[in-house]
Amino acid sequence: MKTSDLERKLPAEAIESISKRGIAELTPPQAMSIEKGLLSGKHMLVAAPTASGKTLIAEMAMLKAVIWERRKAVYVAPMRALVTEKFNDLKKDYPYLKVAMSIGDLDSLDEWLDKYDVVFVSTEKLDSLIRHGLDWLDSVGVFIFDEVHMLDDVSRGPTLEILMTKLKRLSPHAQVIALSATIGNAKEISKWLGAELVASDYRPVPLRKGIIVDGKILLGKDEEERLGGSNRIAELRATEDTLQRGKQLIIFYATRRNAESGAEKAAAVVGKALKPEEKESLKKLSEEILNALDKPTLQCERLARQVENGVAFHHSGLVNKQRNLIEEAFRDGRLKAICATTTLGYGVNLPAHTVVVRDTSRYSGEEGSQKIGVNEVLQLFGRAGRPKYDKEGRALLIAKSVDEADFLQKMYIDSKPEEITSKLGVLPVLRTHILAFVASGFLTRSDSMLGFLSETFYGFQYSDRGGIAQILDDILAELEEWKFVERNGGAYRATKIGAKVSELYIDPVSAKWILDSIPKVDDEVSGLFMMTNTQEMRPYSKVTEEAELEMHKYYPMLKQPGDLESYYEPERPFSTALMLRDWISERSEAELLKKYGETPGSLYTKLSNADWLAYSSMELAKLMKARYTTLLELRVRLRYGIKKELLDLIRLEQVGRVRARMMYAAGITKVSELRKEGAEQKLERLFGKEIAKKIYGQVAAFAD
């Protein structure tokens, strides 16, 4: 089907934009979706490989809804990075549309979104908006759910499943377009959604799958090819071979440590192959990455050295600025190789000619070493082959012997995609959603809740009404015992505190712990421990010797002091609390990372989560009519990483952790002291005339 065949089926603006991008002919999944009713409002599940054209299918449905039907389009994805990428792409391709993105504050209705044509949101954000009483759902013409195979993910899947089920009721007239990688039970999911199924194995760039063993690639029973290069380490041999072809590669590792170590080895190989002008460009990039933080850490220095040699590691331990710089440099060809954890296989579109999956096992403290699933390997393979750049992509595994190669061939290359299953039937996961049902007034009777849960993918797959009913009864009894809900006849209603817990989007177990702990907070460590001993702060920092020695002082905060397991092995969250204490004591980032085994990315994630938990604790304290001055101070100190004595100075714009300490050391200990004679000159000596003028100009606005 040609693009020109879409006239009178799509708005002229959409056809013009598609044509401008050089798309003259639709891919098989795109053509199939139109034949099956995409443009006549049919619900649709599109299960197809990466780069097969799923995004354009979504665009066509969105443009028709917005331009011709004068209705909203909402794009939903589990990962914030993916939401951001798709938001930026649509803004660039359709500049005349009013496009908005909301992925942040989960205790906000964001009423401004009502003014936009297309809204991009994370799964949690849309769920939160509905909890807060979103009033524009009736104006939505189409919902796009990207990465629907994430229903199988323990952490993200349940909220996605609840949300999709909820929207069937709340927005029954909206079209639903679900996009997924190839999965084993696409027909079952499409049946659950009441959607037409578009299933395709089409890839614009053919994919050659093979296994590296003894310096060659086995491509099936009777085919093999030699790898260029001479390195004895398989992934480095693949790196040499890929460079000889003038291409780029991504190597996937099971752990962050392995990815960093792998990048260091790959940098030694790639650095030798770089041209002088490439090295010069990479030197500038290296400096940007090194200075992404106020003070470079050892990890920053290590990454910068590797980037200078054309290689980067990529994992959740990096800060956003570093990740963005790496991804941009890889897309434009400056970086030749990325050594990444498997999280890069999801979310942002970052393809390469060659993908090597070095580790097919992952260690878990609870289960030991486990083989990773077929679907996860296929998702990583999907990054191989770049449309417009490559005639083929290569996806490679590594084996130590021919026997292991046979095993990997059967397990990952010859196998069909696995079926995905619902992860909803777990009590902690359901607890927060049941409270939200009651708090929002969406469902208030246990029989109606049971009916709703029977409509979920879990209910569809298992038809275990008795099992769901028992879980539901247990949760409602618990919420009632905690006074988050109360019963009036056969109906439940949320108490003020229960409603607030739901709006704050924190686990009711965490909220109960915070409510019990608020009266016991009497110093900064107890306040921080209250915030860290929650589900939301996981994963916790490593346990330090100091934490083991000091923990006994805070046993009284635990619900059952004699049972130290009552709240998630308390030494670990307590150690995390001590890390936050060191942060607000103005210890350097480098010290914290070394002492607590953190990375810059994980540190900033914890600080962000702590900020939200501090805010949530304050909101709950207000409802209890308890004092929250200490919590307010802690929130500000956490945000800036300062001691209490700098709280007054931090009110000034242009003044952060470092400048506030410099001012204090120079004798300017309060904003009011800037009114004294000679204060402006002090500022100039500290920061220069321009910054001093901006700071000094604010003084009149502050009362003594």
CA 302/CA 573 separation, integer angstroms: 29
Look at residue 680 and tell me if it is in a domain: yes
The four Cα atoms 105, 109, 111, 114 give a dihedral, to 10 degrees, of 100
pLDDT at residue 563, rounded to an integer: 39
Look at residue 419 and tell me if it is in a domain: no
Same domain, 311 and 447: no
Residue 63 Cα to chain centre, angstroms: 27
CA 438/CA 491 separation, integer angstroms: 9
Model confidence pLDDT, tens digit, residues 339-360: 999 888 776 788 899 999 999 9
Same domain, 160 and 16: yes
> Using 50, 70 and 90 to split pLDDT, how confident is the model at 704?
low
Same domain, 120 and 154: yes
CA 26/CA 309 separation, integer angstroms: 40
Residue 536 belongs to domain spanning: 506-641
Look at residue 659 and tell me if it is in a domain: yes
CA 155/CA 343 separation, integer angstroms: 13
Which pTM value belongs to this model? 0.89
pLDDT at residue 43, rounded to an integer: 97
Same domain, 139 and 189: yes
Model confidence pLDDT, tens digit, residues 524-560: 999 999 999 998 998 899 999 999 999 989 988 886 4
Q: What is the DSSP string of 257-296?
A: HHHHHHHHHHHHHHHHH--HHHHHHHHHHHHHHHTSSSS-
Given 176, 199, 222, which residue is the final one in a domain? Answer: 199
For the segment 683-703, the average pLDDT, to the nearest whole number, is: 87
CA 646/CA 656 separation, integer angstroms: 10
Question: Strand pairing partners for 312?
Answer: 338
Q: Token pair for residue 17?
A: 């934009």
Same domain, 488 and 550: no
What's the sign of the alpha-carbon dihedral 349, 200, 150, 194?
positive
Question: Strand pairing partners for 207?
Answer: 393
Same domain, 632 and 662: no
Model confidence pLDDT, tens digit, residues 668-678: 999 999 988 88
Given 479, 503, 527, which residue is the final one in a domain? Answer: 503
Q: Report the interhelical angle of 524-532 vs 600-623 (nearest 10°).
A: 100
> Using 50, 70 and 90 to split pLDDT, how confident is the model at 589?
confident
CATH number of the domain at 618, please. Answer: 1.10.3380.30
Look at residue 418 and tell me if it is in a domain: no
CATH number of the domain at 269, please. Answer: 3.40.50.300
Greatest alpha-carbon span in the chain = 87
Look at residue 48 and tell me if it is in a domain: yes
For 545, counting Cβ atoms within 10 Å of its Cβ (0-12 exposed, 13-18 middle, 19+ buried), the class is exposed
Model confidence pLDDT, tens digit, residues 444-463: 999 999 999 999 999 999 87
Helical (H) or strand (E) element with 198: strand 196-199
CA 368/CA 362 separation, integer angstroms: 8
Same domain, 189 and 89: yes
Same domain, 123 and 217: no
Q: Return the number of other C-beta atoms located less than 10 Å from residue 700's C-beta.
A: 9
Q: Token pair for residue 440?
A: 């929002």
- Say whether 537 sits in a helix, a strand or coil: helix
Is the N-terminal amide bond of 28 cis, ω within 30° of 0? no
pLDDT at residue 565, rounded to an integer: 41
pLDDT at residue 107, rounded to an integer: 61
Q: Return the number of other C-beta atoms located less than 10 Å from residue 225's C-beta.
A: 12
For 40, counting Cβ atoms within 10 Å of its Cβ (0-12 exposed, 13-18 middle, 19+ buried), the class is exposed
Model confidence pLDDT, tens digit, residues 271-323: 999 999 999 999 999 999 999 887 788 899 999 999 999 999 999 889 889 99
CB 182 within 8 A of CB 378: yes
Q: Token pair for residue 49?
A: 């490989």
Same domain, 550 and 592: yes
pLDDT beyond 70 at 441:
yes
For the segment 208-221, the average pLDDT, to the nearest whole number, is: 90
- Say whether 82 sits in a helix, a strand or coil: helix
User: What DSSP designation does 72 have?
Assistant: E
For 177, phi and psi rounded to 5 degrees? -115, 115
> Using 50, 70 and 90 to split pLDDT, how confident is the model at 365?
low
CA 77/CA 176 separation, integer angstroms: 13
Total residues found in the chain within this entry: 704
Q: Token pair for residue 184?
A: 């084993």
Model confidence pLDDT, tens digit, residues 618-657: 999 999 999 999 999 999 999 999 999 999 999 999 899 9
Q: Return the number of other C-beta atoms located less than 10 Å from residue 287's C-beta.
A: 12
Look at residue 422 and tell me if it is in a domain: no
CATH number of the domain at 472, please. Answer: 1.10.10.10
pLDDT beyond 60 at 689:
yes
CA 525/CA 321 separation, integer angstroms: 31
Question: How far are the Cα atoms of 347, 523, 680, 683, 701 from residue 674, in angstroms, in the given order?
Answer: 49, 31, 7, 9, 12
Residue 518 Cα to chain centre, angstroms: 30
Q: Token pair for residue 223?
A: 């085919």
CB 306 within 8 A of CB 239: no
Task: Name the average pLDDT for the chain.
Answer: 91
For 142, counting Cβ atoms within 10 Å of its Cβ (0-12 exposed, 13-18 middle, 19+ buried), the class is buried
Given 383, 413, 443, which residue is the final one in a domain? Answer: 413
Look at residue 61 and tell me if it is in a domain: yes
Place of tokens 């979504």: 58
pLDDT at residue 386, rounded to an integer: 84
pLDDT beyond 60 at 231:
yes
Same domain, 92 and 183: yes
pLDDT at residue 364, rounded to an integer: 66
CB 252 within 8 A of CB 341: yes
Residue 577 Cα to chain centre, angstroms: 23
Look at residue 19 and tell me if it is in a domain: yes
pLDDT beyond 60 at 204:
yes
CA 514/CA 508 separation, integer angstroms: 10
Same domain, 514 and 628: yes
Question: How far are the Cα atoms of 33, 78, 392 from residue 28, in angstroms, in the given order?
Answer: 9, 26, 18
CATH number of the domain at 654, please. Answer: 1.10.150.20
pLDDT at residue 562, rounded to an integer: 40
149 Cβ neighbours under 8 A, 6+ residues apart: 180, 181, 183, 375, 420
Which amino acid does the sequence have at 505?
Answer: Y
Q: Token pair for residue 545?
A: 């010797």
Same domain, 61 and 130: yes
Q: What is the DSSP string of 122-189?
A: EHHHHHHHHHTT---GGGEEEEEE--GGGGG-TTTHHHHHHHHHHHHHHSTTSEEEEEE---TTHHHH
Q: What is the DSSP string of 465-517?
A: HHHHHHHHHHHHHHHHHTTSEEEETTEEEE-HHHHHHHHHT--HHHHHHHHHH
Domain count, the chain: 5
